[in-house]
Amino acid sequence: MNWAELFSTAVAFKLIALVAVVFAIMAVTLKNIFHCALALAAMFFALSGVFIFLDADFLAVVQILIYVGAIVILMIFAIVLTERITSESIKQTNQLLIPSFALCAALLVGFIYIIRGTVWSSQVPPIQAGTVNVIGRQLLSTHLEAFEVASVLLLAALIGAVFLGKEITKK
């Protein structure tokens, strides 16, 4: 790779990481809970982009499938199915704003201290090609029973969610 490709890759990585941070901040600061869930989904998508840049293709796919495809969608369904969540006068302020900023600042200083004090190796291990193929073969051969138990458990949860979510009509 020449210097232009390295520079453009670094800029794109930092841009996607910045987008992830912005959406994470939006997820915890927006007032509308539905918008918070959408910002969380966007943050997970951006985080999968960071994983792609780090050559962790399996983690990127899992990030989208599990976090965006399951957890955030479940949160959105819970918000939508909850009746009258916006009509109630729910307190939207927090009295612990200053202590939370102080705690975040202390954690940031601690992390910077730890990162600066760590001796980082300049040797980068070679990236294994085809990590998804290796993990897929392991899931469908060595760990097939656990894979099937997880799929039956997810099916039972889906049937339970449909049962709980359907509207009950009285005759």
- How far apart CA 25 and CA 99 sit, in angstroms, is 17
Dump the DSSP string for the chain: --HHHHHHHHHHHHHHHHHHHHHHHHHHH-SSHHHHHHHHHHHHHHHHHHHHHTT-HHHHHHIIIIIIIIIIHHHHHHHHHSTTTTTS------TTHHHHHHHHHHHHHHHHHHHHHS---SPPPPPPS-HHHHHHHHHHTTTHHHHHHHHHHHHHHHHHHHHHHSPP---
Tokens of residue 170, six digits: 């009285």
pLDDT digits (tens, 9 = 90+) for 131-157: 778 888 887 888 888 888 888 988 888
**Surface-to-core class of residue 145, CB atoms within 10 Å of its CB (0-12 exposed, 13-18 middle, 19+ buried):** exposed
Distance of CA 12 to the CA centre of its chain: 19
Residue 171: pLDDT over 60: no
Confidence of residue 167 (pLDDT cuts 50, 70, 90): low
Confidence (pTM)? 0.64
pLDDT digits (tens, 9 = 90+) for 38-74: 899 999 999 999 998 888 888 888 888 888 888 888 8
